[in-house]
Every structure is written in C-alpha cells, then in structure tokens.
Amino acid sequence: MLPTEQPKEFYENLGKLFYALAKADKNIVPQEVASLQNSIRNYWVSLDDGNAASKLIQEKFELLQQQEKKAKDCFDEFEAFYLKNPPLFSPEIKNRIWKTADDIAASFAHKNKSEVILLNKLKLLLSS
C-alpha cells in the first residue's frame, strides 16, 4: 500500500536523487528532463492525489540544475535522508524510485558508466 501523504522533504529528496542521476555524466540533456517529467506523471502524481507534492520533485530538480550542484553531493543528501527515514520507503515507493531512476539513466544514449555506477549505488541503498 502506498502512503498518501509524504512530507515535503520526501519529494525534495527525490528531486535530489533524480537530479544526481541526470547529472552523473556532468551533463543534463533535454531527454533526461523529459524522462523525469514522464516519470513524475506515471509514478508520482498518484501518490498525492493530484500533483502539488509531486511538483516539488520537478522544482527541486530545476533549482539544483540552476545552481549547478554536483551529482555526488545530491546523491549523498538523498542517501542520508533515506537512512534517517526508513518508514517513508515502502517496497512500492522503492519500486517507483527505481523505475524513475532507470528511466532517466536510459533516456539518452542508453546508460553510460557514470550512470551505471550511480544506479548500482542506488540499488544497494534500496535493498538495505
């Protein structure tokens, strides 16, 4: 069962994670942004019975992009949030996170080495 209300920080940290995956190779291309937008519609809007909270994912992603944050820093912040808040991450949520991350990584020229490394780190984290 999916939790219907997640704290604002939950969605902001998803934005950090998805930004980290898109930025893993140091460049964010339009296909990665489009993949994120599709994934938000497909996997995240239904969680908040609309799209107000899921917009936080997109907004955080865009803010990090404007600030040109490092992928590693954003991933590390997501990891810290994840480890501090295990009850927020049900198996279904983890599945949605994985699908979104995998979609972003595969959206442009398939997965490169940087993205594969980050996906492997995410897979280990989500299995803990």
Give domain status of residue 3, yes or no. Answer: no
Q: Per the confidence metrics, is the pTM higher than 0.75?
A: yes
Structural domain for 69, as ranges: 8-126
| Residue-wise pLDDT tens digits, 12-57 | 999 999 999 999 988 898 998 999 999 988 888 877 666 677 889 9
- Count of the separate structural domains present in the chain: 1
Residues 101, 119 contacting (CB under 8 angstroms):
yes
> Which residue from 126, 121, 90 is spatially nearest to 21, judged by alpha carbons?
121
Give domain status of residue 14, yes or no. Answer: yes
